[in-house]
Structure 1
């Protein structure tokens, strides 16, 4: 979920066309990580502005000169580990573009087809499921055997694309399964003891021995699509056990007020969840933090021992992905932020370099993206960019495999 859901006025009908590949050579800047916690006296920052917009106040223009340079860089690093992921003269390829926003959520790498599945808005205010083929850079809408109504987040697991969907007044919010090869679609979960879900936002799976468990976040976003019908369940993180045929709430709103993105690490030992502050839904007097939380998963696949993992400097933490090295990638207002497994911010892809000036001024953000082998596919509202990395960061892996698998 993101700001466009609440703010965007959407123009004409979705028309999918191929876009000639263009390239933008990015600049990378390495800053000493001490600037994230120690600045000269007199500095001024604003929670509404990017960190790299911080200045030192009148009369001290040179104290934050590195930050001023960072504002113009495509990639900002606080650790060489982030720079090591970028090739020399790293370039961003613009592979698709429309005259309106069409790509901003989900970001699922379907490795068996080398495709990225994503979602975005259209003229009627609903979201559509869309695909980018990474071999041809063709963008198309998949044909499914039944409509996936207002899709949002998703996950690829054992040959199936699982889609969290907000539904509408007549179709309940649900988790769908889609066979990417045939288009066959079915509803996996759509209710809890006769009550509609609020609005599934994102979904992930993990394997634990012979058992598999599906986790998904449920929040009030669906009220935007279902004639204002208010949620009947508390916002929660849910766990579906297909072996026991059981759906259980496992994290409630006292722990995470409005859960958003969700992923499990490669080893299947940790569950990460992003939280959206309630003001984005209920007005300026809402509560909670724009944060990333991490839980340990016990031997039965239940989350335990919640810890605060990170805070968004501004805006919200939306899209969430974890690479095979345990680095945590999030879509935030500043851009795509990369943290180590210990929570250190290693660097970020600067939103100011990838969004139009008007979009940055309006407060729109890079909500989601995909980690696709050795590539990052960036869903930048009316554009899709592809960043080539120096190495595969997701590939054939373990119990909670992040976003795909290369043999």
Structure 2
């Protein structure tokens, strides 16, 4: 190897994974030295990615589709150094990606050199043959049962429709280890999706189908008995209610999109614009507070409140996850004025992988969003602090806080991680 030129070593690195070489080989030493010169800091579970790599990608030519993760970036230049591909492998193998040192405050560790664990607690069984994929949403914790409920949906393959599912999943936290099983609300929910806990009950969004209008359903977390509490606006069906959040005094904000009609092929043609609605559970008043006419809510999705209930966060998808022109943003609305109506939105963050689906907040005002490959964590100003990676090929759909544990529900698995904070709803 002493006679092999550095250029030749670089050429080998472009086609042979670094893992094939001994840790002390000249090739690995060279790659690691150059990687270190870029500032990449690699710990047992955290990789800290400096601005030098984020701002200038370490390859001459590269590309990344909107549905893929950061570490799936395609290196197109044929750069003989192999640094770009080796760096991407490090990112993909990490449990956490840190982009800002504030991320360590969330994780409760000093820096990248300390280990930190994400535990996989359940793997969902495979979906039916008609399914394009699985989705687990509507994650909600109830203290009455010390358990988390989650909806299951099967976005169908072309030519099929979403089918009625009589169950939701329940993760029981009362034993030495979590136990996840199907349970059956009575009467059953019709395409359950988002959910929120308020005043001893779980409030589900059900998207509805051809024969059952969508709306909000209240469920007793112990008996699983359900009752429809909202299913129309002056005789209009809602299109496909998706997610909901409630204030402490019982005012709900929920999103309504075209998912049932456009994606699930299981509802009648919508008669109203997509939008965000406000329902006062005490007075019964319901009204739209943001609509597709604003140009941002082609398909609104996740919704969350900060601890003080002064800021409302809403995610938006667009027509399709793979559409590069799709609206994959998180918007921020001020609730301090306008008597419950939401003011002109601020663009809070843009999702770099798919679109932000479920969204949660913590007591410090940070925002957590489920995306392809990870949960993204932003500070209150919208700075991306870091990513909690899920298993390869999985998508983080939604989350639930239980004290200082964040339970992450993916399409395929359930994960949990202990953090140095608690959810805003836990206070």
Which of the five TM-score ranges fits, normalised by the shorter chain?
Answer: 0.7 to 0.9
8 A Cα contact 1:169 1:226, kept in partner: no
In 2 relative to 1, CA 227–133 (structure 1 residues): closer, same or farther, beyond 3 Å?
A: closer
Distance in structure 1 (CA, Å) of the matches to 2:119 and 2:186:
33
Distance in structure 2 (CA, Å) of the matches to 1:221 and 1:103:
13
Find the residue that maps to 2:222 and give its secondary structure.
coil
**Deviation of residue 61 (structure 1)?**
2.8
Q: Which residue of 2 aligns with 1:176?
A: 217
Q: TM-score, normalised by structure 2?
A: 0.77
8 A Cα contact 2:144 2:221, kept in partner: no
Verify: 1:319 aligned to 2:358, yes or no.
yes
Q: How does 1:178-257 map to 2 (within 5 A)?
A: 178-207=219-248, 211-223=249-261, 227-255=266-294, 256-257=297-298
Q: Which residue of 2 aligns with 1:91?
A: 117
8 A Cα contact 1:151 1:164, kept in partner: yes
> What is the RMSD computed on CA atoms of the aligned residues?
2.6
In 2 relative to 1, CA 202–51 (structure 1 residues): closer, same or farther, beyond 3 Å?
A: same
Find the residue that maps to 2:90 and give its secondary structure.
helix
Find the residue that maps to 1:192 and give its secondary structure.
coil
Find the residue that maps to 1:337 and give its secondary structure.
strand
Segments of 5+ residues of structure 2 without an aligned counterpart are 1-42, 128-133, 157-161
In 2 relative to 1, CA 185–28 (structure 1 residues): closer, same or farther, beyond 3 Å?
A: same
In 2 relative to 1, CA 232–295 (structure 1 residues): closer, same or farther, beyond 3 Å?
A: same
Q: Which residue of 2 aligns with 1:44?
A: 62
Q: Which residue of 1 aligns with 2:138?
A: 106
**Deviation of residue 109 (structure 1)?**
2.0
Find the residue that maps to 2:244 and give its secondary structure.
strand
Give deviations 1:268-308, integer Å, cap 9, x for gaps. Answer: 1101000011135xx96x96421110010034222113111
8 A Cα contact 2:307 2:425, kept in partner: no
- Per chain length, whose mean CA-contact separation is higher, i.e. which structure has more relative contact order (CA < 8 Å, sep 6+)? 1
Count of matched residue pairs: 358
**Deviation of residue 192 (structure 1)?**
0.9
Distance in structure 2 (CA, Å) of the matches to 1:303 and 1:116:
30
Distance in structure 1 (CA, Å) of the matches to 2:313 and 2:409:
21
Match of 1:258 among 280, 285, 299: 299
Q: TM-score, normalised by structure 1?
A: 0.80
Find the residue that maps to 1:305 and give its secondary structure.
coil
Larger radius of gyration: 2
Q: Which residue of 1 aligns with 2:198?
A: 157
Distance in structure 2 (CA, Å) of the matches to 1:130 and 1:76:
30
Match of 1:120 among 149, 152, 157: 152
**Deviation of residue 221 (structure 1)?**
1.6
Match of 1:130 among 145, 154, 169: 169
Segments of 5+ residues of structure 1 without an aligned counterpart are 1-24, 395-401
Find the residue that maps to 1:303 and give its secondary structure.
coil
Q: Which residue of 2 aligns with 1:148?
A: 189
Verify: 1:366 aligned to 2:388, yes or no.
no
8 A Cα contact 1:109 1:404, kept in partner: no
**Deviation of residue 183 (structure 1)?**
2.3
Q: Which residue of 1 aligns with 2:77?
A: 57
**Deviation of residue 103 (structure 1)?**
6.0
Match of 2:97 among 76, 79, 85: 76
